[in-house]
Amino acid sequence: MKKRKDGRYQKRITLPNGKSKLLYSTANTEREAVKDFNRQMLALEDEQEKASNFDNIAKEWADEHFPALELNTLKSYKVSYRQAVEYFGDIPIDKIEPEDALKYINYLKVKGYAKKTIKERLAVLKQIFKFAIFVKKEIKANPCQFLKVPKDAKASVKREAATEEEENIIRNLPVDVPFGYLAKFLLYTGCRRGEAAALTPKDIDYVNHTVRVDKTVVWDGNFPQIKPIPKTEAGERYIPLPDIIFEELENRKKNKYIF
C-alpha cells in the first residue's frame, strides 16, 4: 500500500481469477485505508463468486450468442436457456458435476419432454459449459460431454396427414368463412402456413397461374416478421395454381397481402 501525491491510498491486489486490480481509498489515515481496502476486497470476492455462478455465466453466453441467431432458432434457444437457468440457478459453475447434468436430463424425461426437445436442451447446455471452459476459463471439463438423450424418453409425435374425410371438409369450405380460403389454399398448393401468410399479389403470375414462394412469416412474441426462405427445392419455388384456387385470387389483386 502506498499514498499517492493526490492524497489517496493505493493498493494492488490479485483476484481469485489471477488478474490484478488497483484499489483506491480516500481514507484520512493509513489504518482507515487498510479497513477500507479489506471491505473492498470482500466485496470483490463476493462479486467474483457471483460472476462464476451458472446463471451469470449462462447470461454472458446468451448475450454473446443470441444476436447472431435466426429468429426461429433464437426462440428455441431462449426456451432451453431459461429452463437451464431455472434448474441450475446460482450454483457455482465449477461445482456442477456430470451426475448433476445427468439429473437435469432425467428431470426433463420425467417431465414428459420428447427426445427432440431434450436433445435441444442438451445442445444448449453443452454450449454454455463450452463457453465457461474456453471463454470464461472457469472450468476445465464439460460435465455434459458424454451425455446423450435417454433411449426411453418419449418419442416425438409425428404430424399426421389429413384424412380423406378432413380433406373433403376443406374442399367444401366457402371462401368467405374465416380461414376458409386459407385452408383450401394450403391443401391445394402444399404451402406452409407462414409461406401463405407472406404472399402478396406480386407473387402471383396471373397469366401462367403460378405462385412464387420465396419468403415466410416468423413470429417474435406477438410481432410478425417476413424473412426469405432458402433457395432449395423445398424452399424457394414456383407452384401451379388450380382453377378452384386461382378464381378467388383474382378478387384479391388489390390487397396488400393475399391473406
Give average pLDDT by consecutive 10-residue segment, the chain, 259 residues. 86 74 85 80 62 90 94 91 96 94 97 95 97 93 96 88 94 91 95 96 96 92 88 83 93 94
What is the model's pLDDT at position 222? Answer: 87
What is the model's pLDDT at position 225? Answer: 92
Judged by phi (left if over 0) then psi (alpha if -120 to 50, else beta), residue 112 lies in left
Instruction: Report residue 161 CA to chain centroid gap.
Output: 29
Give, for 217, the enclosing helix (H) or strand (E). strand 215-220
What is the model's pLDDT at position 156? Answer: 82
- 145, 130 in Cβ contact below 8 A? no
Q: How many beta carbons lie within 10 A of that of residue 168, not counting itself?
A: 10
* 216, amino acid identity: T
What is the model's pLDDT at position 29? Answer: 87
> What separation in angstroms does the CA of 221 have from each of 56, 72, 225, 229?
24, 11, 10, 20
Start-to-end Cα distance in the chain: 73
What is the model's pLDDT at position 10? Answer: 86
- 100, 90 in Cβ contact below 8 A? no
